[in-house]
Amino acid sequence: MSRLNQALSNWNKGELHSLQWLSKFGVSPRSANKYFASGSLKKIAPGIFARPNDQISWQGIVNVLQSDLSMPVHVAGKSALELHGEGHYIPLGHPIINIVSRNKAQVPSWAISGEFNGELKVKQSSMITSEPELVLYNRDGIDFYISSREQAILELIDSLDLSETFETAENYMQGLLTLRSDKVQFLLENCKSIKVKRVFLFLAKKLELPFLKKINLATIHLGSGKRVVTKNGRLDNDFNITVPTTYFEEPNDF
């Protein structure tokens, strides 16, 4: 079996791989470029290859960033929630995939070009100060890491312009009845965003989500003072944030 065939026998459909990965099978950079020239490999970017007849997918891009290139990135926020089956909006056509990049890692330009079947929207974030809560996900035979549901909802809230889309956060939280209280506790204790924590807890209380009863607020830093989340909103006294006035019941007028 040739060195290339050894590599191809370990190459799952739709995956991308780097020169470093190919070198494990004895394929040198020079040989890889020869295979590309002969049509035995497809070059996606400098040092990144695909099998010749494979369609390039966003999950293949995420996989190679995480595995071959060891980049601290993961599918996050709304995209992670949708993969967990919590989506309220069905993406059509060319989906945008939310990615969080940690430790100021710069995702290469070819990966975010949007030339393939989805566009990676990358956000640099250090909101979670601990190691991220990730789960392994498989789509179309390709493995990659995505945020846990508990982390994804915090990332979603962080990504929204809450002055315009406060109800979007509520819509996603409505389905999160089975969030694990220990994971929520840990993430809130290690989340730097005061606004995100307060909004999350406000919505959890409003929706009477079961996990909230087990959360120890005393160990969660919620800051001091008021936070303007929505302009012309009304102050919620429990968490000191302004929220849309529609969240307060109007007294009955008899």
Instruction: Write out pLDDT tens, residues 151-188.
Output: 999 999 999 998 888 999 999 999 999 999 999 999 99
List, for residues 73-96, the tens digit of each pLDDT value.
999 999 999 999 997 655 556 789
Tell me how far apart the alpha carbons of residues 155 and 150 are, in angstroms, rounded to a whole number.
Answer: 9
List, for residues 188-230, the tens digit of each pLDDT value.
999 999 999 999 999 999 999 999 999 999 999 999 999 999 9
On whether residue 92 sits in a domain, the answer given is no
Does the reported pTM lie above 0.75? yes
CATH code at position 30:
1.10.10
On whether residue 111 sits in a domain, the answer given is no
On whether residue 49 sits in a domain, the answer given is yes
Q: Helix (H) and strand (E) counts for the chain?
A: 9, 10
On whether residue 121 sits in a domain, the answer given is no
Q: Which of 12, 38, 56 is the last residue of a domain?
A: 56
Q: What share of the chain is helix, strand, coil (3-state, %, to 5)?
A: 40, 20, 45
H or E segment to which residue 138 belongs = strand 134-139
Q: What is the pLDDT of residue 116?
A: 82
On whether residue 76 sits in a domain, the answer given is no
Tell me how far apart the alpha carbons of residues 219 and 228 are, in angstroms, rounded to a whole number.
Answer: 23
Q: In terms of residue numbers, what domain contains 184?
A: 159-247
Tell me how far apart the alpha carbons of residues 234 and 246 are, in angstroms, rounded to a whole number.
Answer: 9
On whether residue 217 sits in a domain, the answer given is yes
Least confident of 4-18, 87-101, 106-120, 179-193: 87-101
The number of domains in the chain is 2
On whether residue 253 sits in a domain, the answer given is no
Q: Which of 35, 56, 77 is the last residue of a domain?
A: 56
Q: Which of 56, 72, 96 is the last residue of a domain?
A: 56
